């Protein structure tokens, strides 16, 4: 990755999109001070984060890595309390402020009633909400999330993204997340950053970034951009890989092609 | 996928819920006190049992009303040193195991996997073979130096490359160094019968014939190791969430890893110097304790220290009883007790993933 310049707008949701291995996660880890750029700097309110103490950075920027795993037997309350780490010194005892931050994090993520349960016993959506609660207890103005919706079904994906949108709306938190699903990014992001091969290909509001040309440049696929009937934003419908022809849909077979149902092994393409 | 959020939980009055949550730390505190009681009982047993069984009263009078009798001399000169050393060694090994498992997130991590036992054993065998050392109390410093050098080598090998000493690289280089040292030990012992005769009891791990004065010289290292471990409880909590999260929470992960290795070198090095290579305590005790008190290191560490000491002393006492009038080395007994125990944990699925 080189010659990359990015400004993250304050108090908005920024989504980083792009194909696998394009450097999305690397960029996010650099923003979180996990990686040090060989040249250049990441600035936080005008100060280079690699010059700041780690705990100082952790009081301003929270990070939720992809698919985190909690130690077995850890309760929700204990996990969320660990988000207070950057605010505590070696022999500080648990303060009222710590307690208040944890309570608020549990409340806004609707996980207060799960507090005594073990993290590894929760459903995928609940678990991701609990991890977000831990990041919230850190009380950082900026929240970085690496693919917060991977391995979740569509209902849980919606649950997590709605929660993040709500946090951004009600608390003006700056959210930066890596997302795989372009439609989710277009729906929830105010600012989209499209990357390919370590470079930013396009940047701007969803309507300007999610275009047939950008999608072809990013993923090498032909697509059509419709208007999302729910939000009025762009909605991507892939057509085919660039240069190949689309496979017909597996809708109800026409009488001419009708075959016994048992023959149809592959419901995706409709071919046996 | 299990949905454990039952709708009826919403209707629980908040006060009742808070009470239920407050009880658990209270239970853990009570459990800690009870465990101290168990520890005291084990110490008494260690003073009483042996080739000459004594009453509890005799064991206590040996300190309160010493009369110079054979019984009192046995308690003070033979059983007290092995009990004190057993306490220190057991606690040190268990705490070292907890620290390593937290920082490496590897359920198999234990001091012996970092080459500490092999390093100490090799140094002692080499000293006996080359320098003709005779007295076991002279083994202490060779063992300590061997453990220290082996772990530093393991850490340096693992630190090579871009990511530094990652858990997997630590485990691999530990395995390599252990294999190498073990083969050198075998080579010496095969060629030199005199050395074999002299060190085979030490190599099994034993508390017999250990000198309390020599132990007093190692004890400060052990105490510093315990202090470092105790001060890093929150760091262990954070590290056990994974490297990225720990760094995101403002943890200086490399510094924490290096400090942990230092603490483990001090703890396990002192332990192996005092009692010889003893396996299983650093592995089994952290797992057993975690299954009961949960993954918070503020509780794990003190519980592990107590039960590490208890397990080692119980193994030592049993070793004195089962083969009376002879004895079985404590290192053999910990493995005999520890192995079925670990198998039971695995089978009952209480062996935690980290």
Structural domain includes residue B338: yes
Return residues 271-310 of B near A (CB < 8 Å).
Answer: 290-291, 294-296
| Residue A1: per-residue pLDDT | 66
Model confidence at B340, pLDDT cuts 50, 70, 90, reads: confident
- Does residue B226 have a pLDDT over 90? yes
Return residues 232-271 of B near A (CB < 8 Å).
Answer: 234, 237-238, 240-242, 244-245, 247-252
Q: Residues of chain B with pLDDT > 90: what percent?
A: 28
Does B248 contact A71 at a Cβ distance shorter than 8 Å? no
Return residues 206-235 of B near A (CB < 8 Å).
Answer: 231, 234
b/e code B104-135 from CB counts within 10 Å (16+ = b): bbbbebbbbbbbbbbbbbbbbbbbbbeeebee
Please classify residue B192 by burial: count the beta carbons closer than 10 Å to its beta carbon, then call 0-12 exposed, 13-18 middle and 19+ buried.
middle
Q: Which residue has the tokens 């508390």?
A: B207
- Higher model confidence: residue B224 or residue B195? B224
Q: Can you state the angle between helices A124-137 and A154-171, rounded to 10 degrees?
A: 20
The stretches of chain A forming alpha helices (DSSP H) are 24-31, 54-58, 76-81, 96-108, 124-137, 154-171, 182-188, 206-209, 212-219
Residue of A35, A82, A86, A88 best to disrupt the B interface, most CBs of B under 10 A: A82
- Does residue B83 have a pLDDT over 90? yes
Closest residue of chain A to B247, computed from CA coordinates: A34
- Does residue B4 have a pLDDT over 60? no
| Residue A263: per-residue pLDDT | 44
The answer to whether residue B17 neighbours chain A at the CB level (below 8 Å) is yes
The complex scores an ipTM of 0.79
Q: What is the dihedral of CA B45, B48, B49, B51, to 10 degrees?
A: 170
Joined tokens for residue B41: 């009982």
- Does residue B167 have a pLDDT over 80? no
Residue of B17, B20, B248, B253 best to disrupt the A interface, most CBs of A under 10 A: B248
Beta strands A234-241 and A221-227, pairing class: antiparallel
Q: Which residue has the tokens 């019984």?
A: B71
Closest residue of chain A to B13, computed from CA coordinates: A113
Q: Can you state the angle between helices B80-104 and B212-231, rounded to 10 degrees?
A: 30
Contacts of B1 in chain A (CB under 8 A): 123-124
Closest residue of chain A to B4, computed from CA coordinates: A122
- Does residue B352 have a pLDDT over 60? no
Does A113 contact B250 at a Cβ distance shorter than 8 Å? no
Closest residue of chain B to A132, computed from CA coordinates: B245
Greatest CA separation found in chain B?
76
CA distance A177 to chain B (A): 15
- Residue A93 CB coordination number (10 Å): 6
CA–CA separation, A181 and B68 (whole Å): 83
Of A65, A122, A126, the CB nearest to B245: A65
Joined tokens for residue A208: 């300007």
Does B295 contact A73 at a Cβ distance shorter than 8 Å? yes
Contacts of B194 (CB under 8 A, 6+ apart): none
Closest residue of chain A to B292, computed from CA coordinates: A73
DSSP secondary structure string for all residues of B127-157:
HHHHH----GGGHHHHHHHHHHHHHHHHHHH
| Of the listed ranges A216-220, B111-115, B350-354, the one predicted with least confidence | B350-354
Of B241, B250, B295, the CB nearest to A55: B250
Of A71, A114, A144, the CB nearest to B295: A71
Joined tokens for residue B311: 């397990």
Give me the sign of the Cα torsion angle B157, B163, B164, B166: negative
Q: In what order do the strands lie in the sheet with A174-178?
A: A61-64, A142-146, A174-178, A13-17, A191-196, A199-204
Does A122 contact B17 at a Cβ distance shorter than 8 Å? no
**What's the DSSP call for residue B75?**
I
Q: Output the pTM of the full model.
A: 0.83
| Stretch B85-106: mean pLDDT | 91
Q: Which residue has the tokens 């850190």?
A: A138
Structural domain includes residue B5: no
Structural domain includes residue B20: no
Does B352 contact A71 at a Cβ distance shorter than 8 Å? yes
Of A29, A74, A117, the CB nearest to B4: A117
Does B296 contact A78 at a Cβ distance shorter than 8 Å? yes
Does B251 contact A85 at a Cβ distance shorter than 8 Å? yes
Does A113 contact B5 at a Cβ distance shorter than 8 Å? yes
Of B234, B290, B294, the CB nearest to A85: B234
Closest residue of chain B to A120, computed from CA coordinates: B2
Contacts of B9 in chain A (CB under 8 A): 113
- Does residue B177 have a pLDDT over 90? yes
| Residue A98: per-residue pLDDT | 87
Contact B56, B44 (CB under 8 A): yes
Q: Can you state the angle between helices B14-48 and B281-293, rounded to 10 degrees?
A: 150
Contacts of A13 (CB under 8 A, 6+ apart): A164, A165, A168, A175, A176, A177, A188, A189, A190, A191
Q: How many domains does chain B have?
A: 1
Closest CA to B120 of B177, B169, B76: B177
Q: What is the CATH number of the domain that holds B96?
A: 1.10.3470.10
Q: What is the dihedral of CA B222, B227, B232, B237, to 10 degrees?
A: 70
B261-309 per-position pLDDT tens digit = 889 888 988 898 888 888 889 988 998 888 888 889 999 999 999 999 9
**What's the DSSP call for residue A248?**
P
The answer to whether residue B106 neighbours chain A at the CB level (below 8 Å) is no
CA distance B332 to chain A (A): 31
| Residue B178: per-residue pLDDT | 93
CA–CA separation, B179 and B183 (whole Å): 6
Does A72 contact B295 at a Cβ distance shorter than 8 Å? yes
CA distance B227 to chain A (A): 13
Of B1, B20, B250, the CB nearest to A86: B250
Angle at A28 between CA A27 and CA A32, to 5 degrees: 115
- Does residue B215 have a pLDDT over 60? yes
| Residue B348: per-residue pLDDT | 67
| Residue B15: per-residue pLDDT | 38
| Residue A253: per-residue pLDDT | 56
Does A121 contact B237 at a Cβ distance shorter than 8 Å? no
Contacts of B293 (CB under 8 A, 6+ apart): B28, B31, B299, B300, B303
Structural domain includes residue B31: no
Q: Which residue has the tokens 């390919």?
A: A196
Rounded to the nearest integer, the mean pLDDT of chain B is 83
User: Which stretches in chain A have pLDDT values below 50?
Assistant: 257-272
| Stretch B85-111: mean pLDDT | 89
Enumerate long-range contacts of B179-185, CB under 8 Å, 24 or more apart.
Answer: B181/B115, B181/B118, B181/B119, B181/B121, B181/B122, B181/B150, B182/B118, B182/B121, B184/B122, B185/B118, B185/B121, B185/B122, B185/B125
Does A138 contact B249 at a Cβ distance shorter than 8 Å? yes
Structural domain includes residue B157: yes
- Does residue B42 have a pLDDT over 90? yes
The answer to whether residue B25 neighbours chain A at the CB level (below 8 Å) is no
- Residue A47 CB coordination number (10 Å): 14
Structural domain includes residue B171: yes
Contacts of B115 (CB under 8 A, 6+ apart): B150, B151, B153, B154, B174, B177, B178, B181
Structural domain includes residue B228: yes
Q: Which residues are bridge partners to A204 per DSSP?
A: A192
Phi, psi of B201 (to 5 degrees): -75, -40
Beta strands A61-64 and A234-241, pairing class: unpaired
Closest CA to B249 of A85, A160, A41: A85
Does A123 contact B251 at a Cβ distance shorter than 8 Å? no
Structural domain includes residue B50: no
Host domain of residue B200: 90-352
A75-108 per-position pLDDT tens digit = 899 999 999 998 887 777 788 888 888 998 898 8
Please classify residue B186 by burial: count the beta carbons closer than 10 Å to its beta carbon, then call 0-12 exposed, 13-18 middle and 19+ buried.
exposed
């Amino acid at each position: 990755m080189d010659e990359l310049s990015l400004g993250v707008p304050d108090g908005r949701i920024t989504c980083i999109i792009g194909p696998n291995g394009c450097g999305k996660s690397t960029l996010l880890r650099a923003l979180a001070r996990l990686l040090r750029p060989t040249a250049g700097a990441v600035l936080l309110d005008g100060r280079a984060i690699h010059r700041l103490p780690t705990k100082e950075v952790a009081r301003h920027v929270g990070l939720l890595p992809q698919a985190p795993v909690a130690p077995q037997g850890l309760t929700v309350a204990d996990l969320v309390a660990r988000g207070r780490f950057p605010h505590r010194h070696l022999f500080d005892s648990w303060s009222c402020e710590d307690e208040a931050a944890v309570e608020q994090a549990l409340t806004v993520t609707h996980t207060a009633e799960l507090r005594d349960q073990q993290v590894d016993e929760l459903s995928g959506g609940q678990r991701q909400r609990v991890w977000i609660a831990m990041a919230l207890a850190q009380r950082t103005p900026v929240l970085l999330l690496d693919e917060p919706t991977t391995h979740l079904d569509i209902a849980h994906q919606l649950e997590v993204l709605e929660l993040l949108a709500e946090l951004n709306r009600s608390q003006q938190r700056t959210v930066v997340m890596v997302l795989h699903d372009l439609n989710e990014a277009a729906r929830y992001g105010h600012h989209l950053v499209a990357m390919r091969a370590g470079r930013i290909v396009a940047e701007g509001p969803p309507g300007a970034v999610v275009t047939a040309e950008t999608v072809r440049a990013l993923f090498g696929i032909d697509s059509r951009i419709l208007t999302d009937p729910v939000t009025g934003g762009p909605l991507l419908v892939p057509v085919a890989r660039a240069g190949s022809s689309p496979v017909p849909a597996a809708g109800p077979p026409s009488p001419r092609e009708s075959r016994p149902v048992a023959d149809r092994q592959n419901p995706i393409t409709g071919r046996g | 996928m299990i949905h454990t959020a039952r709708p009826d939980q919403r209707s629980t009055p908040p006060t009742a819920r808070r009470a239920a949550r407050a009880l658990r730390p209270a239970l853990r505190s009570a459990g800690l006190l009870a465990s101290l009681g168990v520890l005291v009982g084990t110490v008494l047993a260690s003073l009483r049992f042996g080739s000459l069984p004594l009453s509890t009263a005799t064991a206590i009078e040996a300190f309160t009303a010493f009369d110079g009798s054979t019984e009192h001399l046995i308690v003070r000169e033979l059983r007290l040193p092995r009990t004190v050393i057993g306490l220190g060694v057991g606690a040190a090994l268990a705490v070292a195991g907890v620290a390593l498992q937290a920082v490496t997130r590897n359920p198999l991590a234990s001091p012996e996997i970092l080459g500490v036992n092999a390093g100490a054993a090799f140094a002692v065998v080499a000293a006996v073979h080359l320098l003709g050392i005779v007295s076991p109390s002279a083994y202490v410093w060779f063992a300590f130096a061997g453990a220290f050098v082996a772990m530093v080598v393991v850490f340096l090998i693992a630190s090579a490359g871009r990511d530094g000493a990652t858990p997997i690289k630590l485990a691999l280089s530990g395995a390599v160094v252990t294999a190498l040292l073990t083969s050198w030990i075998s080579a010496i012992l095969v060629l030199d019968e005199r050395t074999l005769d002299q060190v085979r009891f030490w190599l099994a791990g034993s508390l017999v014939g250990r000198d309390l004065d020599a132990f007093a010289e190692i004890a400060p290292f052990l105490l510093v190791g315990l202090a470092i471990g105790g001060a890093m409880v929150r760091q262990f909590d954070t590290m056990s969430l994974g490297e990225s999260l720990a760094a995101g929470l403002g943890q200086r992960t490399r510094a924490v890893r290096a400090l942990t290795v230092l603490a483990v070198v001090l703890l396990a090095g002192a332990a192996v110097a005092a009692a010889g290579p003893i396996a299983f305590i650093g592995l089994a005790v952290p797992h057993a304790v975690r299954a009961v008190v949960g993954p918070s290191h503020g509780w794990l560490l003190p519980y592990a220290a107590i039960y590490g000491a208890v397990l080692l002393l119980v193994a030592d006492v049993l070793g004195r009883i089962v083969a009376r009038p002879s004895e079985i080395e404590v290192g053999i007994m910990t493995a005999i007790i520890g192995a079925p125990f670990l198998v039971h944990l695995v089978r009952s699925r209480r062996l935690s993933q980290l």
